[in-house]
Amino acid sequence: MNHLTFDQLSVNHDIQAYLKAADDNFAAIGYKEHGFRHAQLTSHIAGNVLKFLDFPARDVELARIAGYLHDIGNAMGQKEHAQNGALLTLDILENLELPYTHIFPVINAIGSHEDKDVDPSSAIAAAIILGDKTDVHHSRVRLRDLATLDMHGRVNYACQRAFLRVNGETRVISLELTIDTEICPVMEYFEIFLSRTKLCRRASRALKCEFELFINKDKFL
């Protein structure tokens, strides 16, 4: 069995090229950061979610891999990037001779990470949704001129801190956000991120956890 690790995979030149191409495509249209930073953060959070909930080390490693690769389909275009990313990942992981018992959970998680109306089909799929959908942060916004930002950009730009706290004992997953309300009112966060919040709750429940949302220390969920 190939014991390819996340650390080996993250320095693979093909993967780095896909991530750069995906981010370059988004930069060209002024869309927020979708490159190495988002890939690394999603990977890190997805792995930690399963680690803190005492999942086996294999699942933690596969969640890290899936989190890192989840958006490479954007190299081909945003539409259907989840399915395209799953196919690209299949190709990459086959070439790296990862066993199919490891490949299938990863491509399933990637291919379903934007599904809004169905429950995540595995813990790995749930973990990357939590890593991906909680990445709200001012550093992702490329345009620094506030007047030109749309509401989506404003909400991200206003977010000074986003932290996902996972309590394995109480089985509560909490998203803690600090939002500068001078830049955007909390209401705008919900206008933009209501569907993501619902996805996070659905993913948490798939992990047999409750989901909480705190904005500026106030509990909204």
- Residues of the shown chain interacting with Fe ion in the complex, contacts defined by CB under 5 A: 71, 132
- Taking the complex as a whole, the smallest distance from the CB of residue 66 to Fe ion amounts, in Å, to 11
C-alpha separations of 133 from 26, 116, 159 in Å: 17, 12, 14
- Taking the complex as a whole, the smallest distance from the CB of residue 170 to Fe ion amounts, in Å, to 28
* Closest C-alpha to 177, from 157, 197, 163, 193: 163
Residue reference for tokens 């395209």: 84
> Could you give the CA distance from residue 76 to residue 74 in angstroms, rounded to a whole number?
5
- Taking the complex as a whole, the smallest distance from the CB of residue 40 to Fe ion amounts, in Å, to 12
- Taking the complex as a whole, the smallest distance from the CB of residue 70 to Fe ion amounts, in Å, to 6
- Taking the complex as a whole, the smallest distance from the CB of residue 126 to Fe ion amounts, in Å, to 15
User: Could you write out the DSSP letters of every residue in 79-105?
Assistant: TTHHHHHHHHHHHHHHHTT--HHHHHH
DSSP label at residue 147: G
> Could you give the CA distance from residue 123 to residue 144 in angstroms, rounded to a whole number?
37
Q: Which is nearer to Fe ion, 164 or 185 (CB)?
A: 164
Q: Which is nearer to Fe ion, 31 or 172 (CB)?
A: 31
**What order do you get walking across the sheet with 210-215 strand by strand?**
159-167, 172-179, 210-215, 218-219
Q: Which is nearer to Fe ion, 105 or 131 (CB)?
A: 131
Q: Which is nearer to Fe ion, 78 or 167 (CB)?
A: 78
Q: Which is nearer to Fe ion, 97 or 117 (CB)?
A: 117
Q: Which is nearer to Fe ion, 33 or 210 (CB)?
A: 33
DSSP label at residue 121: S
> Could you give the CA distance from residue 196 to residue 116 in angstroms, rounded to a whole number?
8
- Taking the complex as a whole, the smallest distance from the CB of residue 1 to Fe ion amounts, in Å, to 29
